Amino acid sequence: MSEVLSQSQIDALLNSMRNGGDSAEQTEEKPEKKYRKYDFSTPRKFTKDRLKMLNGVFENYTRVISSRLNAQLRTNCEVEVESIEEQKYYEFSNALTEGDVLAMVNVTIHFRENSPQQTQPIDPVMVYLSTSTALSMMDHMMGGEGVVDDFLPSEYTYTDLELQLYEMLMSDLINLMGNSWENYVPVDFQYERTEVNPTLVQPLNMDETVVLVSLKLKFTSNEGRMSIVLPGSMLTSVFGEISRDSMGRKVASEDNSEEIFDRLRDSSLEIIAQLGDTQLFLSDLYHLSVGDVVDLGRPKDSPIYLEIGGYQWFTGRIGTHKKNMAVKIDEVCYQAEQRSE
């Protein structure tokens, strides 16, 4: 006696036939999508719009320093923004080694008058350039090909000459950073000093929120990275000033509009009513006398033009108002260059 299949077994068999085989074998295991864990105890300090604004700022900065490096190093160099993310300072600090070098940058924000943020201290900005990238750039400066030993030890320390070249290079790049902020708020970046052992220096609190800007540098012979650490206190001051400045501009624009309209209301304009035009010889004009008639080539009941500032704005008809000559407006010429026939 044949085995009787249940309804579930029949459905499974039909599904297998539709899929061309065993459904269990045809199903491919999809890789599990990984999500970044969000720490609700320390929420994000800066919104996506703020980070997007920073991306635009440093996109402009990459174009500026790319041109400068091409001229200074005499080689083709492409710079692009690789990532901009908010993190804690210890995440950046823990990745540094004793042989790394940090450039410390003083920041000066030009606040508006009576700004409440003028008295707040501003933490320094830090710029990190990987050792291999810095040595390659120095080699280009000295006329070399920029080739660096692939087996460069992680504990490599700069010589005194390399430190001098490093300071010259970073000072030039850092001083150009302020140009990218001019559209938002005037900020000056000035190279201060070089820290040859950043593991022994703690310019910021380890739990301080920072924004890490990673730039990718592409040379003919190699690639490198440059990291810019923007302290949260500095960005808070900048964003606060931008918000205050935008509000001030909005209020100022409203006040200016009222002032402009007040001045326009009291201003006087010359209005010319043009009956028509014709051409006369100078001899005919010389012999004109009282009572002569000049043919304008237009019927007596044809409309006239009202000109303001040399443009025809209205058409109308001549009449009287309280025993004075007047013009009654018939139509409005919306285009200043419009001329009725």
Same domain, 235 and 170: yes
Domain boundary among 225, 251, 277: 251
Please give the residue range of the domain that contains residue 313.
268-332
Q: Is 36 within the bounds of a domain?
A: no
First to last CA, the chain: 105
Coil, strand or helix: which one is 104? strand
Cα separation, 226 vs 176, whole angstroms:
15
State the DSSP H helix or E strand holding residue 133, giving kind and residue range, or none if neither: helix 131-141
pLDDT of residue 339: 46
**In which residue are the tokens 């009576």 written?**
114
pLDDT of residue 4: 67
Q: Is 258 exposed, middle or buried (0-12, 13-18, 19+ CB in 10 A)?
A: exposed
Q: Is 28 within the bounds of a domain?
A: no
Nearest Cα neighbor of 326 from 310, 341, 339, 314 is 314
Q: Is 262 within the bounds of a domain?
A: no
Domain boundary among 200, 218, 251: 251
pLDDT of residue 1: 42
Same domain, 104 and 229: yes
Residue 121 CA, distance from chain mean position? 26
Same domain, 109 and 188: yes
Q: Give the CA distances from residue 121 to residues 92, 107, 115, 195, 237, in Å, rounded to whole numbers and listed in that order.
A: 22, 10, 14, 21, 10
Strand order in the sheet with 324-332: 271-274, 304-308, 311-321, 324-332
Which residues does residue 223 pair with via DSSP β-bridges, in sequence order?
218
Cα separation, 92 vs 82, whole angstroms:
16
Same domain, 280 and 188: no
Same domain, 227 and 135: yes
Cβ pair 95, 172 in contact under 8 A = no
Structural tokens at position 113: 């008058």
Q: How many domains does the chain have?
A: 2
Cα separation, 230 vs 213, whole angstroms:
8
Domain boundary among 251, 285, 310: 251
Q: Is 170 within the bounds of a domain?
A: yes
pLDDT of residue 23: 46
Cα separation, 141 vs 223, whole angstroms:
16
Same domain, 206 and 240: yes
Same domain, 185 and 76: yes
Cβ pair 110, 186 in contact under 8 A = yes
Same domain, 172 and 305: no
CATH number at residue 277: 2.30.330.10
Q: Give the CA distances from residue 145 to residues 67, 140, 148, 220, 224, in Å, rounded to whole numbers and listed in that order.
A: 19, 6, 9, 9, 15
Mean pLDDT by 10 residues, the chain (341 residues): 66 74 51 63 76 90 89 85 90 84 88 61 85 86 78 79 89 88 85 85 84 89 87 85 64 64 78 81 85 80 80 84 84 60 45
Task: Give 50's contacts (C-beta < 8 A, 6+ positions apart).
Answer: 235, 239
Same domain, 64 and 105: yes
Same domain, 162 and 69: yes
pLDDT of residue 215: 92
Cα separation, 331 vs 175, whole angstroms:
61
Same domain, 57 and 179: yes
The 10s digit of each residue's pLDDT in 2-42 is 456 677 777 777 777 776 654 444 445 566 666 666 565 66
Same domain, 63 and 120: yes
Length of the chain: 341
